[in-house]
Structure 1
Amino acid sequence: MTVIMMNARELILAYTANIADPVAASTLFADDGVIELPYLESLGIPPRIEGPDAIREFITGLLERVPDFGFDEVNIFIETDDQIFGEWSVETTTVDGRPFSQTYAGRLVAENGKIKLLRESLDLVRAARAMLPNGVADIPQ
Protein backbone atom coordinates (compact mmCIF):
# COMPACT_ATOMS: atom_id res chain seq x y z
CA MET A 1 0.00 0.00 0.00
CA THR A 2 1.36 3.41 -0.98
CA VAL A 3 0.98 6.24 1.51
CA ILE A 4 0.74 9.68 -0.06
CA MET A 5 2.42 12.32 2.07
CA MET A 6 0.95 15.81 1.70
CA ASN A 7 2.97 18.96 2.21
CA ALA A 8 1.65 22.11 3.91
CA ARG A 9 0.16 23.60 0.71
CA GLU A 10 -1.63 20.38 -0.16
CA LEU A 11 -2.95 20.06 3.39
CA ILE A 12 -4.43 23.57 3.54
CA LEU A 13 -6.00 23.12 0.11
CA ALA A 14 -7.48 19.77 1.20
CA TYR A 15 -8.70 21.23 4.51
CA THR A 16 -10.38 24.24 2.92
CA ALA A 17 -11.89 22.11 0.13
CA ASN A 18 -13.31 19.58 2.63
CA ILE A 19 -14.47 21.84 5.48
CA ALA A 20 -18.12 20.95 4.80
CA ASP A 21 -17.26 17.29 5.48
CA PRO A 22 -16.18 17.08 9.14
CA VAL A 23 -14.86 13.52 8.80
CA ALA A 24 -12.74 14.28 5.74
CA ALA A 25 -11.42 17.54 7.20
CA SER A 26 -10.59 16.05 10.61
CA THR A 27 -8.69 13.08 9.15
CA LEU A 28 -6.14 15.54 7.77
CA PHE A 29 -4.95 16.19 11.34
CA ALA A 30 -2.32 14.22 13.24
CA ASP A 31 -3.46 12.36 16.34
CA ASP A 32 -2.14 15.27 18.38
CA GLY A 33 -3.01 17.87 15.73
CA VAL A 34 -4.51 21.14 16.92
CA ILE A 35 -6.69 23.98 15.71
CA GLU A 36 -6.01 27.14 17.68
CA LEU A 37 -8.45 30.06 17.58
CA PRO A 38 -6.83 32.27 20.23
CA TYR A 39 -9.40 35.07 20.34
CA LEU A 40 -12.68 33.15 20.26
CA GLU A 41 -12.90 32.17 23.91
CA SER A 42 -14.98 35.32 24.53
CA LEU A 43 -17.56 33.89 22.09
CA GLY A 44 -17.74 30.62 24.03
CA ILE A 45 -15.53 28.75 21.57
CA PRO A 46 -12.58 26.86 23.05
CA PRO A 47 -9.31 28.48 21.93
CA ARG A 48 -7.63 25.09 21.36
CA ILE A 49 -9.20 21.99 19.82
CA GLU A 50 -6.92 18.94 19.87
CA GLY A 51 -7.14 15.63 18.04
CA PRO A 52 -9.19 14.50 15.05
CA ASP A 53 -12.27 13.54 17.12
CA ALA A 54 -12.50 16.93 18.85
CA ILE A 55 -11.81 18.71 15.56
CA ARG A 56 -14.57 16.71 13.84
CA GLU A 57 -17.00 17.69 16.63
CA PHE A 58 -15.94 21.34 16.36
CA ILE A 59 -16.51 21.43 12.59
CA THR A 60 -19.85 19.61 13.01
CA GLY A 61 -20.94 22.27 15.52
CA LEU A 62 -19.86 25.05 13.18
CA LEU A 63 -21.88 23.53 10.34
CA GLU A 64 -24.95 23.33 12.59
CA ARG A 65 -24.73 27.13 13.03
CA VAL A 66 -23.50 27.92 9.50
CA PRO A 67 -24.73 25.05 7.27
CA ASP A 68 -23.32 26.39 4.00
CA PHE A 69 -19.90 27.15 5.47
CA GLY A 70 -17.26 26.76 2.81
CA PHE A 71 -14.11 28.60 1.87
CA ASP A 72 -14.35 30.64 -1.31
CA GLU A 73 -10.74 31.62 -1.82
CA VAL A 74 -7.35 30.55 -0.48
CA ASN A 75 -4.30 32.78 -0.82
CA ILE A 76 -0.93 31.48 0.34
CA PHE A 77 1.63 34.19 1.04
CA ILE A 78 4.52 32.32 2.68
CA GLU A 79 5.29 28.67 2.07
CA THR A 80 7.77 25.91 2.80
CA ASP A 81 7.17 22.17 2.58
CA ASP A 82 6.11 22.00 6.22
CA GLN A 83 4.53 25.44 6.83
CA ILE A 84 2.28 27.93 5.12
CA PHE A 85 0.84 31.28 6.03
CA GLY A 86 -2.14 32.62 4.16
CA GLU A 87 -5.75 33.73 4.15
CA TRP A 88 -8.97 31.89 3.35
CA SER A 89 -12.40 33.46 3.20
CA VAL A 90 -16.06 32.54 3.51
CA GLU A 91 -19.27 34.39 2.54
CA THR A 92 -22.54 32.79 3.61
CA THR A 93 -25.32 33.08 6.21
CA THR A 94 -26.03 31.51 9.58
CA VAL A 95 -29.09 29.34 10.30
CA ASP A 96 -30.96 32.45 11.46
CA GLY A 97 -30.15 34.36 8.28
CA ARG A 98 -27.34 36.57 9.58
CA PRO A 99 -24.51 37.25 7.17
CA PHE A 100 -21.35 35.31 7.91
CA SER A 101 -18.48 36.98 6.10
CA GLN A 102 -14.99 36.30 7.29
CA THR A 103 -11.39 36.24 6.17
CA TYR A 104 -9.20 33.96 8.24
CA ALA A 105 -5.45 34.48 8.45
CA GLY A 106 -3.64 31.34 9.41
CA ARG A 107 -0.48 29.36 9.81
CA LEU A 108 -0.45 25.65 9.14
CA VAL A 109 2.37 23.39 10.32
CA ALA A 110 2.61 19.97 8.65
CA GLU A 111 4.34 16.96 10.13
CA ASN A 112 4.55 13.51 8.54
CA GLY A 113 1.91 14.40 5.95
CA LYS A 114 -0.69 15.57 8.51
CA ILE A 115 -1.70 18.88 10.04
CA LYS A 116 0.13 19.33 13.34
CA LEU A 117 -1.09 22.89 13.95
CA LEU A 118 -3.59 25.19 12.31
CA ARG A 119 -3.62 28.56 14.07
CA GLU A 120 -6.22 30.95 12.73
CA SER A 121 -7.19 34.52 13.48
CA LEU A 122 -10.28 36.35 12.32
CA ASP A 123 -12.31 39.50 12.85
CA LEU A 124 -13.89 38.95 16.27
CA VAL A 125 -16.49 41.71 15.83
CA ARG A 126 -17.75 40.21 12.56
CA ALA A 127 -17.86 36.76 14.19
CA ALA A 128 -19.82 38.09 17.18
CA ARG A 129 -22.34 39.83 14.92
CA ALA A 130 -22.95 36.58 13.10
CA MET A 131 -22.85 34.08 15.96
CA LEU A 132 -24.09 35.73 19.18
CA PRO A 133 -27.78 36.49 19.86
CA ASN A 134 -27.09 40.16 20.63
CA GLY A 135 -24.01 40.50 18.49
CA VAL A 136 -21.11 42.49 19.88
CA ALA A 137 -23.13 43.37 23.01
CA ASP A 138 -22.69 39.75 24.15
CA ILE A 139 -18.89 39.95 24.27
CA PRO A 140 -17.84 40.19 27.93
CA GLN A 141 -15.95 43.38 28.77
Structure 2
Amino acid sequence: MSHDSKPRNAQEALDAHLALIGTDIDRWLTLFADDATVEFPYATGTGLPPRLVGKEAIRDYFSRTPEVFKGLTFSNVRRYSTSDADLAISEAHGTATIATTSKPYAQDYVFFVHVRDGRIVRYREYWNPLAASESFGGTAHVAPSLGVK
Protein backbone atom coordinates (compact mmCIF):
# COMPACT_ATOMS: atom_id res chain seq x y z
CA MET A 1 0.00 0.00 0.00
CA SER A 2 1.50 3.38 -0.98
CA HIS A 3 1.40 6.44 1.28
CA ASP A 4 -1.51 8.01 -0.60
CA SER A 5 -3.67 4.99 -1.34
CA LYS A 6 -6.32 3.55 0.86
CA PRO A 7 -6.32 -0.07 2.00
CA ARG A 8 -8.11 -2.53 -0.25
CA ASN A 9 -9.48 -4.59 2.63
CA ALA A 10 -9.69 -4.75 6.41
CA GLN A 11 -6.47 -6.72 6.86
CA GLU A 12 -4.49 -4.11 4.93
CA ALA A 13 -6.10 -1.42 7.09
CA LEU A 14 -5.14 -3.27 10.27
CA ASP A 15 -1.58 -3.80 9.06
CA ALA A 16 -1.32 -0.09 8.18
CA HIS A 17 -2.69 0.77 11.64
CA LEU A 18 0.04 -1.27 13.33
CA ALA A 19 2.71 0.32 11.13
CA LEU A 20 1.61 3.94 11.68
CA ILE A 21 0.04 4.30 15.14
CA GLY A 22 3.36 4.76 16.95
CA THR A 23 4.97 7.13 14.47
CA ASP A 24 2.65 9.14 12.23
CA ILE A 25 -0.79 10.05 13.57
CA ASP A 26 -1.67 12.25 10.58
CA ARG A 27 -1.12 9.41 8.11
CA TRP A 28 -2.73 6.96 10.54
CA LEU A 29 -5.90 9.08 10.65
CA THR A 30 -6.29 8.79 6.86
CA LEU A 31 -7.16 5.14 7.48
CA PHE A 32 -10.41 6.17 9.19
CA ALA A 33 -13.78 7.23 7.79
CA ASP A 34 -15.14 10.53 9.10
CA ASP A 35 -17.89 8.68 11.00
CA ALA A 36 -15.63 5.96 12.42
CA THR A 37 -15.93 4.65 15.97
CA VAL A 38 -13.16 3.33 18.20
CA GLU A 39 -14.06 1.08 21.12
CA PHE A 40 -12.05 -0.02 24.15
CA PRO A 41 -14.28 -2.57 25.92
CA TYR A 42 -11.84 -2.97 28.84
CA ALA A 43 -11.24 0.75 29.49
CA THR A 44 -13.70 0.88 32.40
CA GLY A 45 -11.95 2.05 35.55
CA THR A 46 -8.97 3.60 33.76
CA GLY A 47 -10.47 7.05 33.24
CA LEU A 48 -10.27 6.48 29.48
CA PRO A 49 -13.36 6.67 27.30
CA PRO A 50 -14.77 3.30 26.29
CA ARG A 51 -15.89 4.68 22.90
CA LEU A 52 -14.81 7.45 20.55
CA VAL A 53 -17.20 8.63 17.84
CA GLY A 54 -15.98 10.49 14.76
CA LYS A 55 -12.59 11.26 13.33
CA GLU A 56 -12.06 14.40 15.44
CA ALA A 57 -12.63 12.49 18.69
CA ILE A 58 -10.25 9.80 17.45
CA ARG A 59 -7.64 12.46 16.57
CA ASP A 60 -7.98 14.12 19.98
CA TYR A 61 -7.53 10.84 21.82
CA PHE A 62 -4.63 9.42 19.80
CA SER A 63 -2.72 12.64 19.00
CA ARG A 64 -0.18 12.08 21.80
CA THR A 65 0.38 8.37 21.15
CA PRO A 66 3.84 8.70 19.51
CA GLU A 67 5.16 11.01 22.21
CA VAL A 68 3.74 8.99 25.14
CA PHE A 69 4.43 5.45 23.82
CA LYS A 70 8.09 5.87 22.83
CA GLY A 71 9.27 3.25 20.34
CA LEU A 72 5.87 1.54 20.10
CA THR A 73 6.27 -1.64 18.09
CA PHE A 74 4.15 -4.71 17.53
CA SER A 75 5.41 -8.28 17.33
CA ASN A 76 3.98 -11.76 17.21
CA VAL A 77 1.12 -10.51 15.02
CA ARG A 78 -1.40 -13.29 14.44
CA ARG A 79 -4.00 -12.73 11.75
CA TYR A 80 -7.22 -14.71 11.69
CA SER A 81 -9.05 -15.44 8.48
CA THR A 82 -12.61 -14.27 8.13
CA SER A 83 -15.10 -14.82 5.34
CA ASP A 84 -15.63 -11.05 5.17
CA ALA A 85 -12.94 -8.90 3.48
CA ASP A 86 -14.34 -5.91 5.41
CA LEU A 87 -13.45 -7.49 8.79
CA ALA A 88 -9.97 -8.21 10.13
CA ILE A 89 -9.18 -9.87 13.45
CA SER A 90 -5.64 -9.98 14.81
CA GLU A 91 -3.67 -10.38 17.99
CA ALA A 92 -0.35 -8.67 18.65
CA HIS A 93 2.13 -7.95 21.40
CA GLY A 94 2.97 -4.27 21.77
CA THR A 95 5.98 -2.81 23.54
CA ALA A 96 7.13 0.73 24.22
CA THR A 97 8.57 2.96 26.92
CA ILE A 98 6.10 5.29 28.61
CA ALA A 99 7.52 8.81 28.36
CA THR A 100 5.93 10.08 31.58
CA THR A 101 7.35 7.28 33.76
CA SER A 102 10.24 5.84 31.69
CA LYS A 103 8.75 2.44 32.53
CA PRO A 104 8.53 -0.36 29.98
CA TYR A 105 5.13 -1.03 28.50
CA ALA A 106 4.13 -4.50 27.35
CA GLN A 107 0.61 -5.26 26.23
CA ASP A 108 -1.19 -8.07 24.47
CA TYR A 109 -3.91 -6.79 22.15
CA VAL A 110 -6.83 -8.20 20.22
CA PHE A 111 -8.01 -6.02 17.33
CA PHE A 112 -11.22 -6.05 15.31
CA VAL A 113 -11.24 -3.74 12.28
CA HIS A 114 -14.28 -3.17 10.07
CA VAL A 115 -13.89 -1.19 6.85
CA ARG A 116 -16.28 0.40 4.40
CA ASP A 117 -15.01 1.62 1.03
CA GLY A 118 -11.42 1.08 2.15
CA ARG A 119 -11.65 3.15 5.35
CA ILE A 120 -11.94 1.95 8.96
CA VAL A 121 -15.47 2.52 10.24
CA ARG A 122 -15.23 0.51 13.45
CA TYR A 123 -12.07 -0.26 15.38
CA ARG A 124 -12.28 -2.34 18.53
CA GLU A 125 -9.21 -2.88 20.72
CA TYR A 126 -9.00 -5.23 23.69
CA TRP A 127 -6.10 -4.70 26.12
CA ASN A 128 -5.26 -5.37 29.75
CA PRO A 129 -5.87 -2.32 31.97
CA LEU A 130 -3.60 -3.73 34.71
CA ALA A 131 -0.60 -3.79 32.35
CA ALA A 132 -1.33 -0.19 31.37
CA SER A 133 -1.71 0.87 35.01
CA GLU A 134 1.66 -0.63 35.96
CA SER A 135 3.46 1.15 33.12
CA PHE A 136 1.84 4.52 33.82
CA GLY A 137 2.47 4.38 37.58
CA GLY A 138 -1.12 3.65 38.58
CA THR A 139 -4.58 3.76 37.06
CA ALA A 140 -5.05 7.41 38.03
CA HIS A 141 -2.13 8.40 35.77
CA VAL A 142 -3.23 6.63 32.57
CA ALA A 143 -5.76 9.15 31.29
CA PRO A 144 -3.83 12.32 32.23
CA SER A 145 -0.68 10.93 30.58
CA LEU A 146 -2.64 10.58 27.35
CA GLY A 147 -4.13 14.07 27.68
CA VAL A 148 -7.62 12.72 28.42
CA LYS A 149 -9.59 14.89 30.83
Which band: TM-score by shorter chain?
0.7 to 0.9
Deviations along 1:22-44, whole A, 9 cap, x unmatched?
Answer: 11111111111111012213111
Residues 1:52 and 1:61: Cα distance change in structure 2 (over 3 Å): same
Residues 1:77 and 1:137: Cα distance change in structure 2 (over 3 Å): same
Deviations along 1:47-73, whole A, 9 cap, x unmatched?
Answer: 111222222222223333223223234
Confirm or deny that 1:109 pairs with 2:111: no
Whole-Å separation in 1 of the counterparts to 2:61 and 2:140 = 24
Is the CA contact (8 Å cut-off) linking 2:47 and 2:140 kept in structure 1?
A: no
Deviations along 1:93-123, whole A, 9 cap, x unmatched?
Answer: 1112111001110211111111011111111
In the other structure, the counterpart of 2:9 is: 7
In the other structure, the counterpart of 1:78 is: 81
Q: Report the TM-score when normalising by structure 1.
A: 0.83
Whole-Å separation in 2 of the counterparts to 1:102 and 1:4 = 28
Q: Report the TM-score when normalising by structure 2.
A: 0.79
User: Which secondary structure does the structure 2 equivalent of 1:87 belong to?
Assistant: strand
In the other structure, the counterpart of 2:146 is: none
**1:89 alignment partner AA:** H
- Deviating above 4 A after TM superposition, structure 1's stretches of 4 or more consecutive aligned residues are 136-139
Whole-Å separation in 2 of the counterparts to 1:114 and 1:74 = 21
**2:43 alignment partner AA:** L
Q: How does 1:24-35 map to 2 (within 5 A)?
A: 24-35=27-38
Q: How does 1:52-131 map to 2 (within 5 A)?
A: 52-79=55-82, 80-95=84-99, 96-131=101-136
Match of 1:21 among 2, 21, 24: 24
CA RMSD in angstroms comes to 2.2
User: Which secondary structure does the structure 1 equivalent of 2:91 belong to?
Assistant: strand
Matched pairs, number:
135
